[in-house]
Structure formats: structure tokens, C-alpha cells
């Protein structure tokens, strides 16, 4: 099946035309289907779909088919069930973060999309799969709703038309949002939440950032390891006078818990939310944990935006007081498929993202190539991009990070430079400061996001040595 699936993607033009022909024929016979009764047709339709689509696409009958917008590569074959991919963990050779022997389904999807030219469809945010539709006919759903969820145009220039990019929040910009709108080069840093229930641990770690950063990120079970929760850490940071950016991953909560936590965070005054799909549980110290991935980052963004702007939950139930949120998302321009990354950015903007923080940047040439694509699509006018940087601690640890941390690309020349130096820690710091200097000269970069696990003091030193100290 796997070989057939990849064979089909290589012939995406033919199969896309066939798919659309079937779609039109089925829709054209709607009066007939209605006369027979849609409920009666579900079993025979589902049987036919299962027979044809399982063989050709490895279809798992999610009941809400996206093949017409994914270059004929079924996203339900993604182990994280990302329906708006690719995630940031794709390996350098295009294989899956979780299975080195399987090409990422979204890399295949991009190849199919590039052949068919349906870029507008690719960047349109897709809703999460509904478990109640699993095993049912997707064709009948199209007949029932008489809508095919395709944008008006597949032209690349139509990116701006595909969704309302305008800020439609009922709330005025919060201070962090206002800062990003100014000309100031913004600095955010990551705090590693402690393995402790002691609030003083947050105070001790964050004290290094005083007067140096504009906002502090709190990871949400980063690397799929358990630490103090992002929500509690963010609240403690807020009480200490910092502006928290609460990271929020889909890995550990379903849509009910996610929406409840969004309301809870906003009620506690935490307004900056970074929406993530999340690392696989296999990356952490409890690989036997159950991964949830009910939503992905794009559908989470869309949910949060809907809660804020339209004051209702995903179900349509109204919210009395909508959450005041400034929405962010992650970005990894350093992983394939490189040409798809600006479209993924556009998709996240369309879903509601207002600012982005990238994965670690150790390759400014790759970043510049990405930023020039972003500029040519005018996407830099619709969001703020903060580039991730962090010091390498030693050549050995850099090698380990490159091999074991999903989505991090460290070029050989960086590791060689570390190995050749007399003091590896100092060299890592020097490299980081050089990168920060270079990033300040790249058009479209609004600031930097500093990260390194459990080394807040080192990050503070780097900010001071870079001359980026806040006024
Ligand atoms: S690399 Fe990420 S998006 Fe691609 S198939 Fe694997 S988990 Fe899914």
C-alpha cells in the first residue's frame, strides 16, 4: 500500500483530475442521492470509498477527505495526524521525525502540490478530523453540505485573498503586541520550567532576565518531558512582573481541555499564547504515554481566534466573555520541504497567528532565502517574526542536539568550529553573538528568541554582551 501511495503522489496531476471528475459527478447526481436517502447510502458509499481509497491512498476513512488539497497525499498517514503540515520535525532528507524509513507525508504532499499548482488550496487552514465521522463516507458529507472547501483561486498571488488577515480582535493591542508593532528589535527568552513545586525556582531562574528581555516563553512539556506546567509557570512569571508567552501544545490535551485552558489562561491575565502541535512522546522520557494530537497547531490557532473574535467554542456554543489573546506560532525554515515553509507560514497567519518564533537558527543563508520568499509574498507585513538563537555548549552536545532534538539543524562547519576552539563554551557564546549581529541586518526579522535548556544565566550574559540590553 505504501508503495502504491507514493506512486499515486508521483502522478498527482492525473489523480487530482480524476478526483475532481468524481467529485463533480457525485455532486451532479445530488437529486438522485437525496431521493434514495443519504442515510441509506452511507454504508454502500463508505464501502466503495474504502475499497478504492484504501488501496490508492492508504486512506483511513477519516470521513473528511482532504486529498483534493494535499497533492493526493493522505495526511492521516502522518503519525501526529497533522492535517495542516508539515511539522517542524521533518528530517533533513525529508523523512518523518518519528520514522526515519518513511518519507514525511507532507513532503510528498508538497511534491504533489508543486505538480498540480494548487498552492491556494495547500495554504487554506483545514479543520480537525471529527471522531464521529470516522469510517463514514466523505463523499456523502460533501453532498450533504454541498460545499467543496476549496478557495476561490489557486494562484499564489491569491494568498492574501484566501482569508481575512486583518486583525479582528475586539481588544486593544497588549504591551507585547504594541512593542512588536514598533520599530524596536524585540528580545524574548525561554525559561525552563523546573521539576519542582517550589515557586521560588521560577523566581530564581527568571531573575537573570530582569531588565533584559521583552517577554519570557514558558515551554509546555518541551521535548515531551514533564516539568511544571506552562500555565502555572506563566502565572508566576506574571506575578514577578514579566510578560509571559505561554506555549501551548496539542500533544497532551484534546479540544475540550485546550479550550478550557485558553479561557483559564486569559482569566489569569496571560494573553500571549504560542500554539504548537508538540513533539512526539517518543522524544521524551515517557515514550509509553498516549499522544493526543486531537488538534494540530493550525486548528488550535483557528480555535483560539474564533474564541476571541467570534466569542464561541468550536461547537458553536457562545462564550460570555471572550479571551483577550495575542496569538503566536512556531516556524521552522531550516527543515524540508523548504519551498513549502512560506506557505505554511501563510496558513498559520490565515488561521490566526500574529507573531512567530522560529526553531534555532544556525544557518543564516537558509534564513535569508526563506525571508526573501516571505517578503515576495508580502507575508512579513502580516506578522512579526522572531528568530530563534541559542549558544552551543560544546561540540559533543551540539552533535547530540543535532541527532536527537527534532527539527534542529546545526551545520557541520559549526561543530568543526567548536571542536577546533580552545574553549568550546566560549566559542559557542561567540557564535551566538555573531548570529545575533547578523540577524539584526536581515529584512523582515522583528527580533530574536533566545533558548537553551536550563541556562538562563548564560542567555542573560549573551544579551548583555550583544548590546541588546533593554532600556
Ligand atoms: S515529519 Fe511531522 S508532519 Fe511529517 S509525517 Fe512525520 S510527524 Fe507528520
The verdict on 352 and 249 lying in the same domain is yes
Q: Given the CA of residue 99, which atom of ligand 1 is nearest to it?
A: 6
Q: Kindly report the average pLDDT of the chain as a whole number.
A: 91
The verdict on 292 and 182 lying in the same domain is yes
Calculate how far, in angstroms, residue 77's C-alpha sits from the geometric centre of ligand 1: 9
- Measured CA distances, 234 to 172, 195, 203, 245, 357 (Å): 21, 15, 11, 7, 17
Identify the pLDDT of residue 150. Answer: 53
Question: Is residue 359 in a domain?
Answer: yes
Tens of pLDDT, residues 238-282: 999 999 999 999 999 999 999 999 999 999 999 999 999 999 998
The verdict on 193 and 74 lying in the same domain is no
Calculate how far, in angstroms, residue 229's C-alpha sits from the geometric centre of ligand 1: 26
The verdict on 201 and 129 lying in the same domain is no
Where residue 330 sits, what CATH number does that domain have?
3.20.20.220
Identify the pLDDT of residue 331. Answer: 96
Domain total in the chain: 2
Which has more pLDDT, 148 or 226? 226
Identify the pLDDT of residue 167. Answer: 57
Closest to 221 measured CA to CA, from 150, 305, 292 = 292
Calculate how far, in angstroms, residue 106's C-alpha sits from the geometric centre of ligand 1: 7
Calculate how far, in angstroms, residue 96's C-alpha sits from the geometric centre of ligand 1: 5
Residue 290 DSSP code: P
Calculate how far, in angstroms, residue 86's C-alpha sits from the geometric centre of ligand 1: 6
Whether the Cβ atoms of residue 69 and residue 121 lie closer than 8 Å to each other: yes
- Measured CA distances, 462 to 209, 211, 266, 387, 425 (Å): 11, 14, 32, 15, 12
Tens of pLDDT, residues 358-369: 999 999 999 999
Q: Which domain, by its residues, includes 12?
A: 2-160
Closest to 262 measured CA to CA, from 236, 230, 288, 216 = 230
**Helix (H) or strand (E) segment spanning residue 263:** helix 255-267
Q: Which of 135-144, 172-181, 234-243, 316-325 has the lowest mean pLDDT?
A: 135-144
The verdict on 225 and 155 lying in the same domain is no
- Looking at 160, 187, 205, the residue that finishes a domain is 160
Question: Is residue 165 in a domain?
Answer: no
- Name the residue at shortest CA distance from atom 6 of ligand 1: 96
Calculate how far, in angstroms, residue 247's C-alpha sits from the geometric centre of ligand 1: 20
Tens of pLDDT, residues 401-440: 998 888 999 999 999 999 999 999 999 999 999 999 999 9
Identify the pLDDT of residue 170. Answer: 83
Identify the pLDDT of residue 153. Answer: 53
**Mean pLDDT value across residues 21-50:** 90
Question: Is residue 268 in a domain?
Answer: yes
For residue 83, name the pLDDT band (cuts at 50, 70, 90). Answer: very high
Question: Is residue 169 in a domain?
Answer: no
- Name the residue at shortest CA distance from atom 4 of ligand 1: 104
**Which of 6, 9, 80, when mutated, tests ligand 1's pocket best, judged by the most ligand atoms within 8 Å of its CB?**
80
The verdict on 362 and 245 lying in the same domain is yes
Question: Is residue 96 in a domain?
Answer: yes
For residue 177, name the pLDDT band (cuts at 50, 70, 90). Answer: very high
Question: Is residue 170 in a domain?
Answer: no
- Name the residue at shortest CA distance from atom 8 of ligand 1: 78
Identify the pLDDT of residue 160. Answer: 44
**Which of 2, 70, 91, 96, when mutated, tests ligand 1's pocket best, judged by the most ligand atoms within 8 Å of its CB?**
96
Closest to 337 measured CA to CA, from 120, 106, 126 = 106
Question: Is residue 186 in a domain?
Answer: yes
**Mean pLDDT value across residues 71-95:** 92
Tens of pLDDT, residues 299-350: 999 999 999 999 999 999 999 999 999 999 999 999 999 999 999 999 999 9
- Distance in angstroms (rounded) separating the CA atoms of residues 5 and 72: 9
Residues within a 6 A CB radius of ligand 1: 78-80, 82, 85-87, 89-90, 96-98, 104-106
Tens of pLDDT, residues 103-126: 999 999 999 999 988 888 888 898
- Distance in angstroms (rounded) separating the CA atoms of residues 108 and 123: 15
Identify the pLDDT of residue 209. Answer: 97
The verdict on 154 and 240 lying in the same domain is no
Calculate how far, in angstroms, residue 368's C-alpha sits from the geometric centre of ligand 1: 25
Calculate how far, in angstroms, residue 100's C-alpha sits from the geometric centre of ligand 1: 10
The verdict on 143 and 276 lying in the same domain is no
Following DSSP, what letter does each residue of 150-218 receive, concatenated?
Answer: --S---GGGGGTSS--S---SSPPPHHHHHHHSSS-EEEEE----SSS-HHHHHHHHGGGTTT-SEEEE
The verdict on 152 and 234 lying in the same domain is no
The verdict on 207 and 111 lying in the same domain is no
For residue 85, name the pLDDT band (cuts at 50, 70, 90). Answer: confident
Identify the pLDDT of residue 123. Answer: 81
Tens of pLDDT, residues 151-166: 555 555 444 444 444 4
What global pTM score does this model have? 0.92
**Mean pLDDT value across residues 372-378:** 95
Question: Is residue 332 in a domain?
Answer: yes
Residues 6+ apart with CB under 8 A from 165: 349, 350, 382
- Measured CA distances, 199 to 126, 193, 272, 319, 389 (Å): 39, 10, 21, 32, 27
**Which of 71, 74, 82, 299, when mutated, tests ligand 1's pocket best, judged by the most ligand atoms within 8 Å of its CB?**
82
- Name the residue at shortest CA distance from atom 2 of ligand 1: 87
- HEC string of 360-423? ECCCHHHHHHHHHHHHHCCHHHCCEEEEEECCCCCHHHHHHHHHHCCCCCCCHHHHHHHHHCCC
The verdict on 239 and 314 lying in the same domain is yes
Amino acid at each position: 500500500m505504501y508503495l502504491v501511495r507514493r506512486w499515486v503522489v508521483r502522478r498527482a496531476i492525473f489523480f487530482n483530475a480524476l478526483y475532481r471528475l468524481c467529485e463533480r459527478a457525485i455532486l451532479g447526481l445530488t437529486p438522485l442521492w437525496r431521493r434514495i436517502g443519504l442515510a441509506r447510502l452511507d454504508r454502500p458509499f463508505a464501502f466503495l470509498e474504502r475499497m478504492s481509497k484504501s488501496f490508492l491512498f492508504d486512506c483511513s476513512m477519516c470521513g473528511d477527505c482532504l486529498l483534493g488539497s494535499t497533492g493526493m497525499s493522505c495526511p492521516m498517514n502522518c503519525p501526529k495526524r497533522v492535517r495542516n503540515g508539515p511539522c517542524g520535525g521533518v528530517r533533513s532528507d525529508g523523512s518523518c521525525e518519528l520514522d526515519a524509513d518513511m518519507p514525511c507525508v507532507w513532503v510528498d504532499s508538497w511534491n504533489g502540490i508543486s505538480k498540480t499548482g494548487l498552492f491556494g488550496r495547500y495554504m487554506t487552514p483545514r479543520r480537525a478530523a471529527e471522531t464521529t465521522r470516522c469510517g463514514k463516507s466523505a463523499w456523502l458529507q460533501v453532498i450533504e453540505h454541498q460545499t467543496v472547501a476549496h478557495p476561490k483561486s489557486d494562484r499564489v498571488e491569491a494568498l492574501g485573498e484566501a482569508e481575512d488577515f486583518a486583525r479582528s480582535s475586539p481588544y486593544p493591542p497588549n504591551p507585547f503586541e504594541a512593542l512588536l508593532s514598533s520599530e524596536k528589535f524585540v528580545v524574548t527568552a525561554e525559561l525552563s520550567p523546573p521539576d519542582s513545586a517550589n515557586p521560588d525556582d521560577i523566581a530564581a531562574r527568571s531573575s537573570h532576565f530582569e531588565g533584559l528581555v521583552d517577554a519570557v516563553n514558558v515551554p509546555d512539556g518541551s521535548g515531551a518531558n514533564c516539568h511544571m506546567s506552562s500555565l502555572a509557570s506563566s502565572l508566576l512569571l506574571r506575578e514577578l512582573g514579566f510578560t509571559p508567552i505561554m506555549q501551548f501544545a496539542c500533544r497532551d490535551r484534546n479540544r475540550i481541555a485546550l479550550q478550557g485552558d485558553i479561557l483559564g489562561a486569559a482569566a489569569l491575565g496571560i494573553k500571549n499564547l504560542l500554539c504548537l502541535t508538540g513533539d512526539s512522546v517518543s522524544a521524551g522520557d515517557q515514550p509509553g504515554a498516549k499522544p493526543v494530537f486531537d488538534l494540530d497547531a493550525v486548528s488550535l490557532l483557528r480555535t483560539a481566534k474564533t474564541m476571541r473574535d467570534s466569542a464561541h467554542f468550536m461547537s458553536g456554543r457562545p462564550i460570555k466573555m471572550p479571551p483577550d489573546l495575542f496569538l503566536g506560532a512556531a516556524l521552522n525554515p531550516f527543515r524540508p520541504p523548504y519551498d513549502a515553509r512560506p506557505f505554511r507560514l501563510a496558513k498559520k497567519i490565515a488561521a490566526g497567528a500574529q507573531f512567530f518564533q522560529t526553531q534555532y537558527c544556525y544557518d543564516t543563508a537558509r534564513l535569508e532565502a526563506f525571508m526573501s520568499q516571505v517578503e515576495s509574498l508580502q507575508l512579513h507585513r502580516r506578522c512579526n517574526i522572531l528568530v530563534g538563537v541559542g549558544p552551543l555548549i560544546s561540540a559533543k552536545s551540539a552533535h547530540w542536539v543535532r541527532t536527537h532534538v527534532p527539527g534542529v539543524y546545526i551545520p557541520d562547519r559549526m561543530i568543526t568550529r567548536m571542536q577546533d576552539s580552545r574553549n568550546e563554551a566560549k566559542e559557542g557564546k561567540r557564535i551566538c553573538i555573531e548570529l545575533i549581529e547578523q540577524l539584526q541586518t536581515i529584512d523582515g526579522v522583528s527580533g530574536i528568541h533566545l533558548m537553551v535548556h536550563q541556562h538562563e544565566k548564560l542567555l542573560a550574559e549573551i544579551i548583555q554582551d550583544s548590546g541588546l540590553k533593554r532600556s
